[in-house]
């Protein structure tokens, strides 16, 4: 890709429009790679429909939901609801990225393809939860209405580079959350379903991670600043859903998603793959951002270590009570 623009390290050289144009060849290349490796799959094939039965309502033979009907662990239920409500806001996510990346050319093709693939995740998770009676269907629908009625506004909608940086980490965070939820669910059917979803999320992460790598090549200082900002202020897209803080705390204790996992399994893999902390030749602003990013990662690791110690102490107390 040949860039005929002012000095590549200059922040003044790049507007969002210029970056979108400059990266379009990379988007097309990554889109073609994605289409070759991504495998279509059928959501209905992952749902145990034979286990389903009518709920109370318009059906005379309807059966009321009861917590005892669920095979899923308590922490699995919490995480499944969080993960599904996150997926439910897909219309808002589509609006955000379509407004930023556009609907034309390779960018537009990717936006629509990504949206279609993400749509499967909400379909299969909801069908599984209702068919298996894993969670209260009335509360699930009430939560969905509340969450979607509030919509979603990206923290990074002001900047194309910030948005690319965010989704590179967020897609991996979602993959990790789905995979760990499956492991902790207590239901092999649920585990298989979430493993299939996690495979999609990983491919989405690779697309954005590679795009972020290309951005580092053409606008290193701006990209470094964007990565620093996103990492330091990172929030999961479901942060606005009802009861998110409490659910997030329970998921942290349940080892589905916590500071240690965020540091080791989400931030570090992307930073390490792109060698972000080893990039040289940066200007003053880029170098400052790189140093601040390194300091933040060190601080996060220390905080995660403290969390690990508290979690280990909690496990020891629970084991002692069980033994006593």
**Considering the entire predicted model, what is its pTM?**
0.91
CA dihedral over 132, 136, 138, 141, signed as positive or negative: negative
Q: State CA 93 to chain mean position distance.
A: 12
Round the average pLDDT of the chain to a whole number and report it. Answer: 91
Residue with tokens 């629970």: 318
Average pLDDT rounded to a whole number, residues 281-295: 96
Q: What is d(CA 17, CA 20) in angstroms, rounded to the nearest whole number? A: 5
Q: Is 118 annotated as a binding residue?
A: yes
Q: Is 30 annotated as a binding residue?
A: no
13 pLDDT above the threshold of 80: no
Which is nearest to 189 in space by CA: 82, 88, 85, 80? 80
**Virtual torsion, Cα 137, 141, 144, 148, nearest 10 deg:** 160
Q: What is d(CA 35, CA 40) in angstroms, rounded to the nearest whole number? A: 10
Q: Is 217 annotated as a binding residue?
A: no
Q: Is 147 annotated as a binding residue?
A: no
pLDDT tens for each residue of 79-91: 999 999 999 888 8
* Every domain of the chain and the residues it spans: 60-323
Q: For 19, list phi and psi in degrees, rounded to 5.
A: -65, -45
Q: Is 171 annotated as a binding residue?
A: yes
C-alpha pair distances (Å), 293 with each of 90, 232, 242: 30, 8, 31
127 pLDDT above the threshold of 90: yes
Average pLDDT rounded to a whole number, residues 207-229: 96
What pLDDT does residue 152 have?
77
What pLDDT does residue 154 have?
75
Q: What is d(CA 303, CA 311) in angstroms, rounded to the nearest whole number? A: 12
Q: Is 87 annotated as a binding residue?
A: yes
Q: Which residues contact 209 (CB under 8 A, 6 or more apart)?
A: 168, 172, 270, 273, 274
Per CATH, which fold does 60-323 belong to? Ribonucleotide Reductase, subunit A (1.10.620)
């Amino acid at each position: 890709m040949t860039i005929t623009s002012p000095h590549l390290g200059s922040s003044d050289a790049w507007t969002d429009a210029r970056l979108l144009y400059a990266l379009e060849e990379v988007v097309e290349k990554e889109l073609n790679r994605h289409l070759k490796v991504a495998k279509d799959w059928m959501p209905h094939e992952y749902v145990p429909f034979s286990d389903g039965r009518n709920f109370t309502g318009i059906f005379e033979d309807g059966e009321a939901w009861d917590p005892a009907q669920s095979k899923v662990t308590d922490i699995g239920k919490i995480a499944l609801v969080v993960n599904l409500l996150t997926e439910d806001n897909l219309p808002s996510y589509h609006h955000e990225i379509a407004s930023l990346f556009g609907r034309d050319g390779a960018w537009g093709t990717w936006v629509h393809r990504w949206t279609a693939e993400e749509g499967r995740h909400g379909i299969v998770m909801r069908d599984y939860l209702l068919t298996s009676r894993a969670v209260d269907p009335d509360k699930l629908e009430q939560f969905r209405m509340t969450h979607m009625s509030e919509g979603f506004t990206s923290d990074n909608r002001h900047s194309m580079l910030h948005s690319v940086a965010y989704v590179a980490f967020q897609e991996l965070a979602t993959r990790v959350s789905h995979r760990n939820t499956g492991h902790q669910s207590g239901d092999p059917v649920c585990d298989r379903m979430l493993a299939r979803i996690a495979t999609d999320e990983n491919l989405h992460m690779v697309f954005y991670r590679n795009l972020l790598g290309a951005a580092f090549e053409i606008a290193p200082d701006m990209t470094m600043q964007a990565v620093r900002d996103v990492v330091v202020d990172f929030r999961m897209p479901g942060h606005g859903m009802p009861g998110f803080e409490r659910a997030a705390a329970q998921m942290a204790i349940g080892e589905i998603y916590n500071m240690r996992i965020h540091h080791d399994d989400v931030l570090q893999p992307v930073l390490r793959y792109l060698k972000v902390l080893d990039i040289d030749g940066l200007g003053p602003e880029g170098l400052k951002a790189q140093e601040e990013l390194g300091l933040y990662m060190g601080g996060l690791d220390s905080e995660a270590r403290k969390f690990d110690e508290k979690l280990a102490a909690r496990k020891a107390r629970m084991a002692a009570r069980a033994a006593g």
